[in-house]
Amino acid sequence: MACHEIAALRLGMMNVLGIKDESVIQHEKNEIGSEALSSPGPIQSLTNANNFEDLIRFFDASLVELEQKISGLSSSDPKSGYYTSLLILTKKVELDLKNSAKAFQTLYLDLEEMHDFVHEIYPS
């Protein structure tokens, strides 16, 4: 069993943040597996995300697939506990990801406000 959603998000985040650590990239790709990496869908798209909007959109889509997978499991399935825990983890990550995007948007807006404020104090 693998946490494809988390590994794919880490790869996408590496793109967004400009992290180029080949050992981490290979580790995450191994976690996901070549079949999921080569299959069109949210996991593959998430690994190639280049901005926060794509990270959130593709991560949300990957969670829909995870929820569908979980809904098809019986409660007696030995993987049931793992997938339930994974769903809780991914929900927390989803909230953190959205909050991080909002924090960057707030910073962006605050920079403009501070810039305007400096010009109020020191008019040209």
Rg (Cα) of the chain, in Å, rounded? 19
pLDDT tens-digit profile of 76-108? 999 999 999 999 999 999 999 999 999 999 999
Residue with tokens 């959205």: 98
pLDDT tens-digit profile of 46-68? 999 999 999 999 999 999 999 99
Both ends of the chain: CA-CA distance in Å?
Answer: 62
pLDDT > 50? residue 7: yes
CB 46 within 8 A of CB 12: yes
CB 74 within 8 A of CB 64: no
Domain residue ranges in the chain: 4-121
Chain mean position to CA 46? 7
Q: Determine phi and psi for 64, rounding to 5 degrees.
A: -60, -45
* Mean of all residue pLDDT scores within the chain: 94
